[in-house]
Amino acid sequence: MSRVLVLNGPNLGRLGSREPDVYGSTSYADLVEICVETGRDLGFSVEVRETNDEAELIRWLHEAADGKIPVVLNPGAFTHYSYALRDAAAQRTAPLIEVHISNPAAREEFRHTSVIAGVATGTIAGFGVDSYRLALRALAILRQETGS
């Protein structure tokens, strides 16, 4: 079973209580369960992590790069300004799918730019927690296409 890391940046652990009109009512625990179950159905062993610490998120991306582990990444607010996170994501050795629960392009102007998108394999945004399901399916398709 292929390993996948689902990495979440700041404030994602507050899902369900944080701005439910924007992020929905699904809790973080529910998101973890959704990712693990979807991954299992696709033949992945999924580990879901969340941090408010930029340095820790960077260390996890280094771990993924060193282990050639595919990543689903929701960088949260780091999306828009963390060049250190962008540089860590650029070192990827396996697919990296950027995800967002909301659609940043439909929100405040400062959210319209992602410094991560240019080094990601692709971006999925605006489908609520289904963005994660879609990202895991995209990884399964990429695995099938490359035979790895």
CA neighbor of 133 nearest in space, from 39, 45, 30 = 39
In this predicted model, what pLDDT tens digit does every residue of 105-138 receive, in sequence order?
767 786 768 999 999 999 999 999 999 999 999 9
Tens of pLDDT, residue by residue over 4-25, are 999 999 888 776 766 656 555 6
Residue 31 has a pLDDT of: 94
Residues with catalytic annotation?
23, 100
The CATH homologous superfamily for domain 2-146 is Dehydroquinase, class II (3.40.50.9100)
Model confidence pLDDT, tens digit, residues 32-41: 999 999 999 9
What pLDDT score does 27 carry?
86
Q: What is the pLDDT of residue 24?
A: 57
Interior angle at CA 76, CA 128 and CA 99, nearest 5: 45
Q: Is 45 annotated as a binding residue?
A: no
Question: Annotated binding residue at 66?
Answer: no
**Does 87 belong to an annotated binding site?**
yes
Which has the closest alpha carbon to 6: 48, 56, 41? Answer: 48
Average pLDDT over all residues of the chain: 90
